[in-house]
C-alpha cells in the first residue's frame, strides 16, 4: 500500500498492528480510528487488484 501513497499509520490500522510507526506514548493516546483514511486506502487497493486482474486477463487472451 505504501506504493499507492498510503500513510504507514493507516496501513498499520488496516493490518491491526499495535506497534510500528505509532508506538510508545503516542500509541496509548492516539485512539483515532482512521476509518475514512482506511476506507480510502482500501478503495485504492481494490482498484489496484482489479487492474492487475484485467492485465492478467488481457495477457492470457492476447
**Residue ranges making up the domain that contains 9:** 2-61
Q: How far is the C-alpha of 50 from the C-alpha of 16, rounded, in Å?
A: 24
pTM of the full structure: 0.74
Q: How far is the C-alpha of 3 from the C-alpha of 32, rounded, in Å?
A: 24
Specify the number of domains making up the chain: 1
Tell me what pLDDT residue 51 has. Answer: 96
pLDDT by 10s per residue, the chain, length 62: 999 999 998 999 899 886 666 667 666 677 788 899 999 999 999 999 999 999 998 999 87
Tell me what pLDDT residue 35 has. Answer: 92
Tell me what pLDDT residue 27 has. Answer: 67
Amino acid at each position: 500500500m505504501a506504493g499507492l501513497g498510503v500513510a504507514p499509520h493507516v496501513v498499520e490500522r488496516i493490518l491491526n498492528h499495535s506497534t510500528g510507526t505509532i508506538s510508545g506514548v503516542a500509541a496509548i493516546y492516539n485512539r483515532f480510528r482512521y476509518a475514512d483514511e482506511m476506507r480510502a486506502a482500501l478503495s485504492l487497493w481494490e482498484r489496484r487488484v482489479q487492474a492487475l486482474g484485467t492485465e492478467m486477463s488481457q495477457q492470457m487472451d492476447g
